[in-house]
Structure 1
Amino acid sequence: MEPGVLCGGCFCGAVRYAVQAVFDAGYCHCSICRRISGAGAVCWFSVREEHFRVTRGHPQALHSSEHFTRYFCGACGTHLYGTDDLPPPPKVGSRLVSAMLGTLDEPELVPPRIHQWWSSRMRWYGDAAGLPTFDTGRISHPDERPVRS
């Protein structure tokens, strides 16, 4: 891998991509991202269009709104990235590709920096920091956990 290049792909490996020069990263709380992912919020990162390339496979497209197209693996269904269908923002100078942070091979290298669509968040989202934590998939019965005040 070239220095400064991050790689990622879908769950089954049919689609792979490479990026350089991450532009931004954050959480999106919009209702479309929640529906597409099945999660309360998604983590994404963006790169300029010229810094993103698919290196293997052929992602399928889904126009999820009048201004955004999402791409996913046709074999395993992983939502990989999306592109803005509007002209590039003048302050950025390029279209941005927003990729799902969890599809990176090394997602720890790109920490989220913002919350987007915060006004659309699930109201309980801010309480997540105080929840019990478990280091593995083995969790205690809900009746056996400490009660939060």
Structure 2
Amino acid sequence: MKEQAQWRQEGGCSCGQIRYAITAPPMFVHCCHCHWCQRETGSAFALNAMIESSHVEVITGTPEVIMTPSESGKGQIIHRCPTCRMAVWSHYAGAGEAVAFVRVGTLDNPECAPPDIHIYTDSKQPWVIIPPGASQHPGYYKPREEWPESSQKRFMALKNREK
């Protein structure tokens, strides 16, 4: 990945009312195959780039913030376009509002954020083929065992700010 200071990717919703930029590379990118993500996205998986919320910059529009249920029971805060209702990023209870889970498909260049890990593969659709050698787990995983050290440091810096 490019140096954090030089990195910028833009994205937005399908109608164009919401435009945003992420101003640092993602800490980690999840490809989640759980049934909840399948239902929520209407697809076989959700692809979310985890990034500090401070690196999500709204360029135009004002996302609508909606609280939705989640499988954990703790809920999920989703930022959606108020017109086309597309979800552009969300916050999960485990990471809090300090971390945004940006929907990779809403980026103008989604190829900039390929999955680092495939999770909940025990419920993936049988026709989804995970590339050989890709990191995958039947459920969740231990970030300390999967995340690069630089991402762990970024995440710990967020946790330390919350204290």
Q: Normalising by the residue count of structure 1, what TM-score does the alignment of the two structures yield? A: 0.70
**Alpha-carbon distance between aligned partners in 2 of 1:52 and 1:124, rounded to the nearest angstrom:** 34
Structure with the greater alpha carbon radius of gyration: 1
Map of 1:10 onto structure 2: 13
- Structure 1 position 95 matched with structure 2 position 103: no
Q: Tell me which amino acid in the other structure corresponds to 2:9.
A: L
SS of alignment partner, residue 105 of structure 2: helix
SS of alignment partner, residue 123 of structure 1: coil
Q: What residue ranges of structure 1 are gaps of 5+ in the alignment?
A: 89-93, 130-149
**Alpha-carbon distance between aligned partners in 2 of 1:37 and 1:30, rounded to the nearest angstrom:** 11
SS of alignment partner, residue 125 of structure 1: coil
Structure 1 residues 127 and 103, CA gap change in structure 2 (3 angstroms):
closer
Map of 1:84 onto structure 2: 92
Greater relative contact order (CA < 8 Å, ≥ 6 in sequence) = 1
Map of 2:67 onto structure 1: 62
Tell me if structure 2 keeps the 8 A contact 1:43–1:102: yes
Tell me if structure 1 keeps the 8 A contact 2:30–2:117: yes
Map of 2:37 onto structure 1: 33
Tell me if structure 1 keeps the 8 A contact 2:67–2:75: no
Partner of residue 82 from structure 2, selected from 74, 78, 91: 74
Greater helix content? 2
Greater strand content? 1
Q: Percent identity?
A: 28
Map of 1:115 onto structure 2: 118
Q: What residue ranges of structure 2 are gaps of 5+ in the alignment?
A: 133-163
Structure 1 residues 10 and 87, CA gap change in structure 2 (3 angstroms):
closer
**Alpha-carbon distance between aligned partners in 2 of 1:64 and 1:117, rounded to the nearest angstrom:** 18
Total equivalences in the alignment: 123
Tell me if structure 2 keeps the 8 A contact 1:49–1:97: yes
SS of alignment partner, residue 126 of structure 1: coil
